Amino acid sequence: MDRLPPLVDQHSHGALHGDLGLGAFEAHLAAASGGHGPAPAGTTFFDSWTGLGVRRWCPPLLGLEAHCPPARYLARRRELGTFHASRLLLRGAGIGTFLLETGAPSELTTAGELAAAAEARAHEVVRLEPLAEQIADTSGSVDSFIGYTAEAIYAAAQDATAFASGAPFCEGRAPEAGEVRRAAERWLRGRRPGDRLAEPSLLRHLLWSAVATGVPVQLHGPDPLPLAGFLQATTGIGTDLVLLPRPPHHRRAAELAAVHPHVYADAGPDPEETLRQAPFGKLLFSTGARALPELYVTGARFFVRAVERVVREWTEEGMCARADAERITAMVASGTARRVYRLEAEVPAAG
């Protein structure tokens, strides 16, 4: 297959600034692999699917042989320094545009820093919950909280590429003003600075407020099925919704995307499964990378490897022509994201 244009990564969190020792690196690798706590005795979190990907694809970007020992790889990383190593990794990932979730204070790179390091483009996705939490920390009353939240969402909509929310459930109707006020009173009365927003009516209020702006909204609920009523109720409003579930719910997200014209879904870790459940133009790629620049590399390479394998099999079986296979791959890799997030005017950054 001909070389793909640079990917559009529709969801990630940025990379760390500081140097990492073996323990800290493995902790982030464990989180990416779904693990917690130390690795079993005599093993390492490099002994995982993600770890194999790091050893296969990242060492050559830093001037080492593939599959070199983890200790040698990390020594090379320290030798180059975090700044230079991160630049080499990000520029070798094949990603031309990043959509970076923002909203909470973080030690991770900003969209501007990520764009500079990767020699790519980066756009902000504003997470709704931290936005409301920051306002709650400084607002003096329920009225000021509700008013400032509305103003902040409107202001963010002027520049943000998308909004995002982790609400696990949302009804098919916007809460009434009295319901919002009572929920705000309950939450503000009992919270302390730094407490996370978990008041259901306020989460619904934030989501419906974001939908009203017309800016695309990413929905990060673990299982998208409890959002089905919200998806149905927002049909025809003119705002696209993108489902980014956690495994093993990507197939269900693809099925919901197939049903609703304004709903899209993350292709997930097994694109073969989601490609069979939704029109190809309803699926988008993401790495979900956090902290380690290596996760951008592995996320991109695993995705390309999986999608190209699927469409190659389809071509060999006579299910589609080679030109169709290339078009489908490019659509999921970047084309649909450019359309949904209104990036069409951008010339893809050089990979």
pTM value surpassing 0.85 = yes
| 348 found inside a domain | no
Per-residue model confidence (pLDDT) at position 107: 87
117 and 41 housed in the same domain: no
39 and 88 housed in the same domain: no
Single-letter amino acid code for the residue at 185: E
173 and 292 housed in the same domain: yes
The domain total for the chain is 2
Residue that is last in its domain, among 37, 57, 80: 80
188 and 157 housed in the same domain: yes
| 349 found inside a domain | no
| 253 found inside a domain | yes
> By residue range, what is the domain housing residue 284?
7-19+81-341
75 and 116 housed in the same domain: no
323 and 267 housed in the same domain: yes
| 203 found inside a domain | yes
Q: What are the tens digits of pLDDT across the range 290-346?
A: 999 999 999 999 999 999 999 999 999 999 999 999 999 999 999 999 999 999 766
134 and 29 housed in the same domain: no
55 and 170 housed in the same domain: no
| 2 found inside a domain | no
Q: What are the tens digits of pLDDT across the range 246-301?
A: 999 999 999 999 999 999 999 999 999 999 999 999 999 999 999 999 999 999 99
| 1 found inside a domain | no
232 and 311 housed in the same domain: yes
Per-residue model confidence (pLDDT) at position 351: 43
Which CATH number does the domain housing residue 154 bear? 3.20.20.140
pLDDT higher than threshold 80 for residue 348: no
